[in-house]
DNA sequence: CGCTTTTTTGAGAACATTCAAGGCATGTGG
DNA sequence: CCACATGCCTTGAATGTTCTCAAAAAAGCG
């Protein structure tokens, strides 16, 4: 049984954001302006489209596993994905959450260095690795874009090292909420400015190097302090943005 | 007064590892086989050489500072460099140590995201940023090499997140020692297999998210357990490599 | 509605930190 | 060559933040 199911064919004949002639999956892609394909012209896009598959993965399913052969990379086109590493006794560190436009699964080596799992229902664009790297040789714009993405990721990772190595539990939670509301997070911010976390307390804990209980206690404290409001569905409104920034320990 | 001093001119006429016609600094460069220039042919190397300066920085001096304009990138050609980020109250996280062949100071944005400081006396190769990116457009091999370097760094950063978020103090020290002895570390490994750390206990602590005291206590425990031997000068011999691996919590 | 899963809350324990002092090496000046 | 100052490392005792263990409350789901 494959963990990955091809996405159902979309409505044909509907013009997408780009020119016609593209496969439905690409023409309607919500992430095309964010992903590595965004710098390609229409002709190149058609070429790229011929190499890829569009997939759906339901929440909780694995996309690829650490140590597996890295045969394909994926662009997240909707939903939220997490990547994590495990220690032998089960301790888990989530190394990143990924949103629409993010590319995952294109490591330097032959195998994936982390496991990827769908947090919500997810749609993905699958690039066979060999064909993608061949394409990079032809289209330098693609490689430039990839380089930019990897650099961004590295910078984010360095900020996360500061968080994991030196910040208190409270500061970690504050930083996390601010990052979600300020940056990243397409699909996390409601129209009314409310934040939908999507991931569980346990996931947040494993991302911030804490336990579920500590995360829960910090949320409670922030709520009682009037910095955030949490509604019945767990959606979060940041009331004291400045207060939260003060609590985050800030960059410097 | 500049923090960076040009390196003294080398002996002229001495043939380096590469063909002649190169500036002494490049011809004699100990890191040319490791750095991003390693994939260039002689003609390209001559071109690259015309863009760069060779510098010396003494131990403890700053190379560039967080938030400064990222006008130049640097390749470490000898010695050890650390990069760190600070919180407003002085808490510090070292995000990486850099050895011969490593490239630092080429961020995505306009400013350096971290401060770089010489741990030992260091020699550097300085690339003005604009000219380097112009050169990348001409020599795709250079950009490919950079991409590979950044990917390596990202993978290292992800392993460090696992360490900082989930490993115990003992496991962090064990992992650190193994990494130095296995990988990285040109100039850290003596002929007889002994490890020279170069950096202080405080630096190690700020790299591993611990305090100086905890680092010291862990070293003592490892020494008393017979896993490592520390001589009068602080050089370390790893006696129980397998034992250390068991203590490191290992990848999975 | 009953079941499972997740989240919250509480009490006690643990690991690492903080605070404090002593040891050891290096370097300087008498 | 020794005395002394300095900086870094080590060791000890006490504290604290976060974790572990445990149970209740809330939310999701058939």
- Digit-coded pLDDT (tens) for A205-214: 999 999 999 9
Q: With contacts defined as CB-CB under 8 Å, which chain A residues touch B92? A: 166
Taking only the tens place, the pLDDT of each residue in B164-208 is: 999 999 999 999 999 999 875 677 887 778 899 999 999 999 999
- Per residue in A44-71, pLDDT (tens digit) is 888 888 889 999 999 999 999 999 999 9
How distant, in Å, are the alpha carbons of A233, A249, B217, B231 from that of B237?
56, 39, 17, 8
Task: Give the gap in angstroms from C-alpha A205 to the nearest C-alpha of chain B.
Answer: 10
- Mean pLDDT per 10-residue section of chain B, whose length is 252 residues: 46 44 69 79 83 93 97 95 96 96 95 97 94 88 92 97 98 97 77 88 98 98 95 89 92 56
- First-to-last alpha carbon distance for chain A, in angstroms, is 50
Judge contact between A187 and A99, C-beta under 8 A: yes
The mean predicted confidence, pLDDT, of chain B is 87
What rounded mean pLDDT belongs to chain A? Answer: 88
When CB atoms are compared, the residue of B86, B151, B154 closest to A252 is: B86
Closest chain A residue by Cα to residue B83: A158
Q: How confident is the model at residue A193 (pLDDT cuts 50, 70, 90)?
A: confident
Question: What percent of chain A is predicted at pLDDT more than 70?
Answer: 88
Give the Cα separation of B152 and B78 in Å (integer).
20
- At A251 the pLDDT is 59
Contact B87 A250 (CB under 8 A): yes
Residues 181-210 of A with CB under 7 A from strand D: 209-210
Q: Å from B96 (CA) to D6 (C1')?
A: 29
The DSSP string of A92-117 is: EEEEEEE-TT-EE---SSSB-SSEEE
CB atoms within 10 A of CB A189: 15
In Å, how far from its chain's centre is CA B108? 19
Nucleic acid strand D within 7 Å of B167 CB: no
List pLDDT tens digits, range A227-238: 999 988 889 999
Q: According to the model, what pLDDT value does residue A51 have?
A: 86
Question: What pLDDT sits at residue B223?
Answer: 96
In angstroms, what separates the C-alpha of A34 from chain B's closest C-alpha?
Answer: 16
A73-132 pLDDT, tens digit per residue, is: 999 999 999 999 999 999 999 999 999 999 999 999 999 999 999 999 999 999 999 999
Residue B249 near residue A88 (C-beta atoms within 8 A): yes
Query: Is any atom of nucleic acid chain C found less than 7 Å from the CB of residue B202?
Result: no
- Tell me the CA–C1' distance in angstroms for A208 and C17: 20
| Sequence-ordered alpha helix ranges (H) in B122-168 | 129-138, 140-166
Q: How far is the CA of A68 from the C1' of C16 (A)?
A: 36
Residue B85 CB neighbour total at 10 angstroms: 23
Alpha-carbon distance A147 to A209, whole Å?
28
- Rounded distance, CA A156 to CA B158, Å? 11
Chain B closest-CA separation from residue A105 CA (Å):
12
User: Out of B66, B161, B252, whose CB is closest to A66?
Assistant: B252
Residue A12: half-sphere exposure toward Cβ, Cα within 13 Å? 1
**B160 vs A7: which has the higher pLDDT:** B160
pLDDT at position B206 is 98
DSSP helix/strand/coil, B152: helix
Tell me the mean pLDDT in the region A126-153. 92
Rounded-to-integer distance, Cα A192 and Cα A154, Å: 31
**Pairs of residues, one from chain A and one from chain B, whose beta carbons lie less than 8 Å apart:** 130
Per-residue pLDDT for A4 more than 60? no
The stretch A134-146 carries a mean pLDDT of: 89
- Is the distance from CB of B218 to CB of B205 less than 8 angstroms? no
Q: How confident is the model at residue A33 (pLDDT cuts 50, 70, 90)?
A: confident
Residue of chain B minimizing CA distance to A88: B252
Chain B contact set for A158 (CB, 8 A): 85, 95, 113-114, 157
Of B192, B195, B190, nearest in space to B178 by CA: B195
Burial class (CB in 10 A: 0-12, 13-18, 19+), A152: middle
Is A18 a residue whose pLDDT tops 70? no
State percent of chain A over pLDDT 90. Answer: 66
Between B225 and A15, residue with greater pLDDT: B225
CB contacts of A245 in chain B (<8 Å) are none
Nearest to A248 by CA among A176, A157, A166: A176
């Amino acid at each position: 049984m494959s963990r990955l199911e091809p996405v159902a064919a979309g409505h044909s004949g509907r013009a997408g954001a780009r020119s016609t002639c593209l496969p439905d999956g690409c023409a309607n892609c919500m992430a095309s302006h964010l992903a590595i394909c965004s710098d390609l012209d229409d002709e190149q896009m058609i070429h790229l489209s011929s190499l890829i598959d569009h997939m759906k993965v339901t929440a909780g399913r694995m996309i690829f596993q650490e140590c597996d052969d890295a045969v394909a990379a994926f662009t997240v086109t909707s939903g939220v994905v997490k990547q994590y590493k495990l220690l032998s006794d089960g301790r888990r560190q989530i190394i990143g959450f990924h949103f629409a436009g993010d590319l995952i699964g294109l490591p330097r080596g032959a195998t994936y260095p982390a496991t990827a799992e769908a947090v919500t229902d997810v749609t993905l664009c699958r690039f066979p690795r060999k064909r993608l790297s061949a394409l990079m040789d032809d289209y330098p714009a693609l490689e430039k874009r990839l380089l930019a993405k990897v650099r961004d990721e590295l910078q984010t990772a360095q900020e996360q090292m500061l968080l994991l190595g030196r910040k208190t539990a409270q500061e970690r939670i504050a930083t996390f909420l601010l990052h979600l509301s300020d940056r990243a997070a397409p699909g996390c911010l409601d129209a009314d400015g409310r934040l939908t976390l999507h991931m569980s307390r346990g996931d947040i804990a494993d991302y911030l190097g804490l336990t579920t209980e500590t995360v829960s206690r910090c949320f409670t404290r922030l709520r009682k302090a009037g910095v955030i409001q949490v509604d019945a569905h767990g959606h979060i409104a940041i009331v004291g943005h400045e207060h939260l920034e003060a609590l985050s320990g800030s960059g410097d």
